[in-house]
Amino acid sequence: MPAIPLRRLRLQPLMAQAAASPPPSPSLAITAIGAWNIRQPVSGRSWGLVRLTTSEGLEGWGESKPLSRETTATLLDALKGTSAHGYEALRVKLEGHPARAAVNAAALDILGKAARVPVYQFLGGPTRNKVRVYTSLHGASDDAILDHLRDARSAGHRAFAVPVPAPPFRNSGKALVLAARKRMDRVRQAAGDGADLILNGSGHLTPGDAAILADAFERYGVLFFDEPCSNTSPAVLRKISVENVTPLAFGAGAAAASHFQDLLREDAVDLCRPELAIHGIGGVRKIAVIAEVNYVAVAPRNNEGPIGTAACLHLAASLPNFFIQHIPFPGAREDREMRAAITGGNVEAVRDGYAPLNTQPGLGVNIDRDALRKYGEALA
């Protein structure tokens, strides 16, 4: 029988003592989870809201796509006893879970509060002192879109995404181009000098119609053509990209960073638009790195609530290749008041086309519990 080394003999009492002792509780251990679905009273748009509470009493908040009671129950089992310090490990652990992005933001919110710094400072410091923003225009007609534009402009917005008119049939060709030009001309005139416009296809057009519109708007000066068609075929998108100089933006619904890598490899995208509610802050930063080495900018997609907007502004501040940030501006006054009420103040305030950086610790949002009870459905 081989002799036991003297060093191991000396360590045996310490090893036995360590094995008998219970492991220490991790710092910022997650001890409780709250979850809600929030719904705007007029438009009916909804999203999920998650609150993490630590053993030190710190709370962190994050948003996601709408949740269910079943997915919330699995979230509680997955997170209880883990530490907010492992925000990236938690994001990887929760891959495929609808609350993954919310947990990622909430953990960073906790860490920022614990360190008493804004989240963007925790992520390495700001790359800018304000964030360029735009909002999407909505309406059943051109007149309704112009009404929405005037309200958004009076609220400080200076860049607008204009929806492409619904084509009368597939591959409408010239009829679609004429309708889109007519709408964009009216919006440009109403928006005034200095306003930037984005053509929004919402992924609903055929590749043929998308290519025709991209060609028609080459000299129009749009910031980019957002989701001109479905982004499932990089080869088709590359054909549109190489035949036109209108910048193309994709990313809606893409659940994996590899999707953006495929688009970049095919030279089929000019602006990456990952969804914060799918990838989380950490996931968007990962995609931004992939885009940066290909000399492509990012404009994170944000269609959820004001906490998601706050997270996007911190994210934008930390990204060197950031381009522009979407901030929802609902057409109904009641929806706008609801968004401001939830955070106890309007974190989505815009001035001359820019949003200021929040210098408060964490995400810098303070949830109004009365507004949460009024507009939210508790899930846990």
Reported as a single tens digit per residue, the pLDDT across 28-63 is 999 999 999 999 999 999 999 999 999 999 999 999
Residue 92 within any structural domain of the chain: no
349 belongs to a structural domain: yes
Residue 115 in any domain: the answer is: no
* pLDDT band at residue 81 under the 50/70/90 scheme: confident
At residue 19, does pLDDT exceed 70?
no
pLDDT for 236 equals 86
318 touches 282 (CB < 8 A): no
Element (H, E) at 8: helix 6-20
Report if residue 119 sits inside a domain.
no
DSSP, residue by residue, 272-341: E--BHHHHHHHHHHHHHHHHHTTT-EE--B--S-HHHHHHHHHHHHH-TTB--EE----SSHHHHHHHHH
Q: What is residue 235's predicted lDDT score, i.e. its pLDDT?
A: 85
Residue 76's pLDDT is what?
Answer: 85
Q: In the prediction, which pLDDT does 193 show?
A: 87
Please tell me the least confidently modeled range out of 19-28, 90-99, 193-202, 352-361.
19-28
Summarize the confidence of residues 123-152 as an average pLDDT.
95
pLDDT mean over 259-263: 94
Give me the mean pLDDT over the 205-214 stretch: 92
What is the percent of the chain where pLDDT is above 90? Answer: 81
> Residue 116: pLDDT band by 50, 70, 90 thresholds?
very high
Residues 67, 87: Cα–Cα separation, whole Å: 20
Domain range for 343 is 130-367
Q: What is the pLDDT of residues 151-199, one digit of tens each?
A: 999 999 999 999 999 887 787 778 899 999 999 999 999 999 899 999 9
**Predicted confidence band of residue 21 (pLDDT cuts 50, 70, 90):** very low
Look at residue 101 and tell me if it is in a domain.
no
Lowest-pLDDT range, 4-8, 14-18, 256-260?
14-18
Query: What's the rounded mean pLDDT across residues 194-213?
Result: 93
Domain assignment of residue 56, yes or no: no
Question: What is the bridge-based pairing of β-strands 376-378 and 30-39?
Answer: antiparallel
Average pLDDT over residues 280-307: 96
Look at residue 70 and tell me if it is in a domain.
Answer: no
Q: Above 60 in pLDDT, residue 4?
A: no
User: Could you write out the DSSP letters of every residue in 70-135?
Assistant: HHHHHHHHHHTT-BGGGHHHHHHHTTT-TTHHHHHHHHHHHHHHHHTSBHHHHTT--S-SEEEEEE
Cα angle 248-251-257, degrees, rounded to a multiple of 5: 125
The number of domains in the chain is: 1
Amino acid 6: pLDDT: 58
Lowest mean pLDDT among 216-220, 234-238, 277-281, 375-379: 234-238
Domain CATH code at residue 331:
3.20.20.120
- pLDDT score for 234: 84
pLDDT at position 171 is 76
Cβ atoms of 227 and 247 closer than 8 Å? no
pLDDT at 17: 53
Position 122 scores a pLDDT of 87
The answer to the question of residue 118 being in a domain is no
pLDDT band at 281 (very low <50, low <70, confident <90, very high): very high
Note the pLDDT of residue 197.
98
